[in-house]
Amino acid sequence: MSSDDFKLSDEQKAALIETKDKFLRGEKVDVSLMHLIQNVAGFTGRDGRSKEGRAVKAFLSEIDLNAIPASEYQKVEKPSLSDEHKEFIRNNKGTMKYVEMSRILFLNDKLTSLSAETRMVTEYCKSLDGEDFEQNQIEQEENFEYKPPKHPDRVLSRINRFVLDSGIDKEKVTPRQKKDIERLMGYLHTFRFIHQMSNYQNETERELFESSFVRYTYNKPDLTQEEVDQYIVLSGEVVIASNIQRRVGRLQRLLDETASDNEGRRISMSLVEAINTAQGEYNSCVNRQHKLLSDLKQKRSDRLSKQVQDNASILNLVETWKDEESRKELIKMAELRKKTIKDEVEKLSTIDDVKARIFGLSPEEAVNG
């Protein structure tokens, strides 16, 4: 069968006729040629040049439906900002990002910074007087580079700042505390920690991250590199949870301020959904923190217990050795003393028996007492 002899099935023809009827009734349907070939007639992956595509075009001519070629420009209606939209933007320009406002205003969580709606919100924000919140955040992110402390005193100042009861006196630092401080300084110089700190957009996030990490690790000089990385992740989760809480609070305030008209109710529904989603994210974040912290504590506890057992075994061995050595030393001293006495008695035994009797001793009595 040649391509020109290809025939559509009755079901395919019925589907095309139904699409035409909807189009004539004014319903919003896609009558592009590609859509009719692939989605209505069901020829996935085919276009107007294939035998299936040519068959669809021939049938469309029979039913007087002019499909829009794929190469023909289809004008999309440009979104616009209503007065309510503009008021919402003016009220939240200093606290929300452009894409966040766009998703709420147009009820579409899939909008990105490149979407037409977001670009429109961005242009309106830039047309307003005042501080550009998002641009300032970008500039801060590009310009900041974290510099870890290079002296133990600076590390100690961080510990005393972030840990209320650290118990470390700058004038009376013990050898153990000195080791803790030096190890923490090493943790702060790891590439991953520096990279994470440099990625945060504002001072509040950086301080929260650093303070969390210091509080978790300032008295743990025995951490492995893997555990240091996990504590960095845990501190990052603290920042995420804080941001989610701030977002929930901001959305809740917006919900309380929303007008009671139809436009306000429409935005309110979107805000409620956004709040529920954010609260779910917060709960998941808290659960991750709890699990990660428990795992870290358990790993370290197991490692320290093993070290205690190993040290105890070594200590017992040393004590046993010491006891045995002392015992041997006493025995040796006793044998030397006994031998010395015996030698002296033997000297005495060479004297005349009369002289020996003067001592009133026999050789055995002199030696063994």
Instruction: Give me the pLDDT at residue 338, please.
Output: 77
Residues 214-234 as b or e (16 or more Cβ within 10 Å = b): bbbbbbbbebeeebbebbbeb
24 phi, psi to nearest 5 deg: -70, -30
- Distance of alpha carbon 67 from alpha carbon 45, whole angstroms: 18
- Distance of alpha carbon 326 from alpha carbon 166, whole angstroms: 44
Cα angle 159, 165, 169 (rounded to 5 degrees) comes to 65
CB 200 within 8 A of CB 239: yes
Q: Which residues of the chain register pLDDT less than 70?
A: 1-5, 67-78, 129-143, 258-266, 309-327, 330, 344-369
Q: What is the pLDDT of residues 109-128, one digit of tens each?
A: 777 877 888 888 888 888 88
Contacts 24+ apart (CB under 8 A), 302-311: 303/222, 304/222
Instruction: Give me the pLDDT at residue 73, please.
Output: 44
HSE (side-chain half, CA atoms, 13 Å) at 334: 7
Instruction: Give me the pLDDT at residue 5, please.
Output: 67
| Closest C-alpha to 250, from 70, 101, 106, 52 | 101
Q: What is the pLDDT of residues 127-165, one digit of tens each?
A: 886 545 455 555 544 567 888 998 999 999 899 889 888
Residues 298-324 as b or e (16 or more Cβ within 10 Å = b): eeeeeeeeeeeeeeeeeeeeeeeeeee
